[in-house]
A and B are shown apart, each in its own frame.
Chain A
């Protein structure tokens, strides 16, 4: 369990993190979302002691994090970086050895990962001769090579093609299901929604929502109704507390209160148009995000 407790970090007049409190649990994928400049990268760096905090602590399994604990962590920074002129296999072995792994153990782990991500034939090449996507893969292996208990990835999906995206998702799921704690940031909210059990939404350095995604969604008073119809648009003027979010020919999206009388709504719609399908759901993550961040 990774816990942030009242974490505050100021850069001059900018407050990058403002008493942030949240946690990421083992065996679960935690998505870390927020607009640009919200403080995600700063928070992730603080796990590794790469920023000096003004207040608060970051704990791992209940204790403050030191050099020893970090050797059991994996990190993929937002600004990717490797020694450009070093060979792939040597570089990864070196990074594994820095985490206290022996030579043989490191090599075994490196070779397994290279094989798995389809880079075995590039093992002896210099990193700067690899394509951008392959360099990303090496960077990912660098975070995984010490078989970490906690994996922190800053925008791991940025710049990936759909296939690489798929395999990255699969990998993260697998790592989490092996009982590890995974925290990653992303701007691709639908992806986070598909992938994560937990989310943390941060805005201007403050954690505005955090916890189990399903519960967060259920806890919000708004609901969304989607209507597909034939014929003219439905007449909703007699209903109150309804906001039309979107209206195109054949489709209407409504934002309604959680306690709306659905039967009445359906009856009203069917009076004025021919209803084809009807869905009622809590807000999606993008909707939740928009609501939380602009509030």
Chain B
């Protein structure tokens, strides 16, 4: 039996054992539910639903009539309710029962931000009513005026940052980038804990008496990767189906070709990150040490994610192109640029070659470190020692209380991502993430 067949057995074991535990299904279910919710929720809640307008004070009936007429003409559903007092109307606004209160036909009161569409509608109607009054005063016949003031239908078109892409495409791309990042980090993290677990339970000595270290690491990465791949594919296909049944228009950023590229980039990005995690995991035999050993890598990963996230807003910029070529950031940036239709045909290929080369390099260097370090139990093995294979007992390097760091960082990133998506603004997203991260690390420090 050669090392390749043993690696296949290792991979099969990973898949078999992980499919046995509910963790995998929970992770898959969560991802599926959040992606579907993100796609379907807006059309279920109905952003274009009925607008509720309240009127109070001396608002003329003609304004209400005109508003209703204008709304019909522009295809907006508007319902109007009259309030006996301004106070009652303001209360309704504060509690979200109505979107806007028109006071005395001149003042619009909103709960937070003005709804630009509604604002234009009401302002326009007020204008029309005023013009009508002045016209009557000037002796112009109402029929003539009606013909003159008949509503004009004005069309809207969102251009977005790239020709052929709308802000819905941008949102879809945000979603794609978050999904890819989460899957790569979750499954890369499984490789890390798997390696550490084999070391801490000492089963690794039993295993390595039977198979070479590379078979063990490669098999583990491959097996967990298959599970991650299934998750990406299932989520991706579900997202495509959801987009097609929802009332979203055909989104170029949510087509099968984009999904196919996303799968390719998952494989590449995951392989790179999982290899790095696996190699670093071999340095430690205690799960408490794992997060401190992989801290720098986690920071790089998050930075790469944010860099990739930022390319969505300006996928054509030179810096965005460079980011999408660079091996470490490419898996998190190139899929975004592909989805945004900004990547030239050769760019993904170039980035793939570069990332594959980087991964190959990492496999060679990391394989050496892994095979030297994997059997050294006890304290954290220093990277240099592992590289040299020098057998001097490892120096102790403990950093207690850093176990939760990874969770905090992941939380901050998720928060930033959510903020970014909701506000549709990269800067807000990055800012929110950075702030959350700062607060989290302060909290950790204070806690110690």
Q: Which residues of A contact B (CB under 8 A)?
A: 10-12, 45, 48-52, 67, 70-71, 73, 75, 77, 79-86, 90, 94-95, 97-100, 139, 142
The contact of B206 among A51, A77, A100, by CB within 8 Å, is A77
Q: Are A81 and B208 neighbours in the complex by a CB distance under 8 Å? A: no
Extra inter-chain contacts (9) besides given A70-B209, A75-B209, CB under 8 Å: A11-B393, A48-B209, A50-B208, A70-B210, A81-B202, A83-B203, A95-B206, A98-B211, A139-B206
Interfacial chain A residues near B391, Cβ < 8 Å: 10-12
Q: Are A73 and B209 neighbours in the complex by a CB distance under 8 Å? A: yes
Q: Are A77 and B6 neighbours in the complex by a CB distance under 8 Å? A: no
The contact of B203 among A52, A82, A100, by CB within 8 Å, is A82
Interfacial chain A residues near B375, Cβ < 8 Å: 50-51
Q: How far is the CA of A38 from the CA of B159 in the complex (A)?
A: 77
Q: Are A82 and B201 neighbours in the complex by a CB distance under 8 Å? A: yes
Q: Are A67 and B211 neighbours in the complex by a CB distance under 8 Å? A: yes
Q: Are A79 and B209 neighbours in the complex by a CB distance under 8 Å? A: no
Q: Mark B17-28, 1 if CB is under 8 A from A, else 0.
A: 100000000000
Q: Are A52 and B210 neighbours in the complex by a CB distance under 8 Å? A: no
The contact of B1 among A48, A77, A99, by CB within 8 Å, is A99
Interfacial chain B residues near A67, Cβ < 8 Å: 2-3, 211-212
Interfacial chain B residues near A82, Cβ < 8 Å: 201, 203, 206
Q: Are A81 and B393 neighbours in the complex by a CB distance under 8 Å? A: no
Q: Mark B204-235, 1 if CB is under 8 A from A, else 0.
A: 11111111100000000000000000000000
A to B CB contacts below 8 Å, 24 in the list: A11-B393, A12-B391, A12-B392, A50-B375, A52-B389, A67-B212, A71-B1, A71-B210, A73-B209, A75-B206, A75-B209, A77-B202, A77-B205, A81-B204, A81-B206, A83-B17, A84-B201, A90-B16, A90-B17, A94-B9, A98-B1, A98-B9, A100-B5, A139-B206
Interfacial chain B residues near A81, Cβ < 8 Å: 201-206
Residue of A nearest to B6 (CB): A98
Q: Does B13 contact A (CB under 8 A)?
A: yes
Q: Which of B361-377 contact A (CB under 8 A)?
A: 375, 377
Q: Are B377 and A79 neighbours in the complex by a CB distance under 8 Å? A: yes
Interfacial chain B residues near A45, Cβ < 8 Å: 205
Q: How far is the CA of A90 from the CA of B211 in the complex (A)?
A: 18
Q: How far is the CA of A84 from the CA of B206 in the complex (A)?
A: 13
Residue of A nearest to B389 (CB): A52
Interfacial chain B residues near A12, Cβ < 8 Å: 390-393
Residue of B nearest to A54 (CB): B391
Q: How far is the CA of A29 from the CA of B212 in the complex (A)?
A: 28
Q: How far is the CA of A2 from the CA of B131 in the complex (A)?
A: 108
Interfacial chain B residues near A79, Cβ < 8 Å: 202, 205, 377
Q: How far is the CA of A77 from the CA of B375 in the complex (A)?
A: 12
User: For chain A, what secondary structure do more than half of its interface residues adopt (helix, strand, loop), or is it mixed?
Assistant: loop
Minimum distance in angstroms from B205 CB to a CB of chain A: 4
Minimum distance in angstroms from B381 CB to a CB of chain A: 14
Interfacial chain B residues near A51, Cβ < 8 Å: 375
Q: Are A94 and B203 neighbours in the complex by a CB distance under 8 Å? A: no
Q: How far is the CA of A84 from the CA of B198 in the complex (A)?
A: 9
Q: How far is the CA of A51 from the CA of B376 in the complex (A)?
A: 10
Interfacial chain B residues near A75, Cβ < 8 Å: 205-206, 209
Q: How far is the CA of A52 from the CA of B13 in the complex (A)?
A: 28
Minimum distance in angstroms from A129 CB to a CB of chain B: 15
Interfacial chain B residues near A71, Cβ < 8 Å: 1, 210
Q: Which of B381-425 contact A (CB under 8 A)?
A: 389-393
Q: Which of B298-318 contact A (CB under 8 A)?
A: none
Residue of B nearest to A76 (CB): B206
Q: Give the top 5 A-B pairs by smallest Cβ distance, nearest first.
A: A81-B202, A100-B1, A48-B209, A81-B203, A12-B392
Minimum distance in angstroms from A274 CB to a CB of chain B: 59
Interfacial chain A residues near B393, Cβ < 8 Å: 11-12
Q: How far is the CA of A283 from the CA of B9 in the complex (A)?
A: 51
Q: How far is the CA of A6 from the CA of B439 in the complex (A)?
A: 60
Interfacial chain B residues near A52, Cβ < 8 Å: 389
Interfacial chain B residues near A84, Cβ < 8 Å: 201
Residue of B nearest to A52 (CB): B389
Given contacts A67-B211, A67-B212, contact A50 B3 (CB under 8 A): no
Q: How far is the CA of A75 from the CA of B205 in the complex (A)?
A: 9
Minimum distance in angstroms from A212 CB to a CB of chain B: 28
Interfacial chain B residues near A80, Cβ < 8 Å: 202
Q: How far is the CA of A97 from the CA of B219 in the complex (A)?
A: 14
Interfacial chain A residues near B211, Cβ < 8 Å: 67, 98
Q: Are A86 and B1 neighbours in the complex by a CB distance under 8 Å? A: no
Q: How far is the CA of A97 from the CA of B13 in the complex (A)?
A: 11
Given contacts A11-B392, A79-B202, A83-B203, contact A50 B377 (CB under 8 A): no
Residue of A nearest to B372 (CB): A52
Minimum distance in angstroms from A85 CB to a CB of chain B: 8
Interfacial chain A residues near B206, Cβ < 8 Å: 75, 77, 81-82, 95, 139, 142
Residue of B nearest to A74 (CB): B209
Q: How far is the CA of A142 from the CA of B206 in the complex (A)?
A: 8
Interfacial chain B residues near A49, Cβ < 8 Å: 208
Residue of A nearest to B17 (CB): A86
Q: How far is the CA of A86 from the CA of B3 in the complex (A)?
A: 23
Q: Are B210 and A99 neighbours in the complex by a CB distance under 8 Å? A: yes
Residue of B nearest to A83 (CB): B203
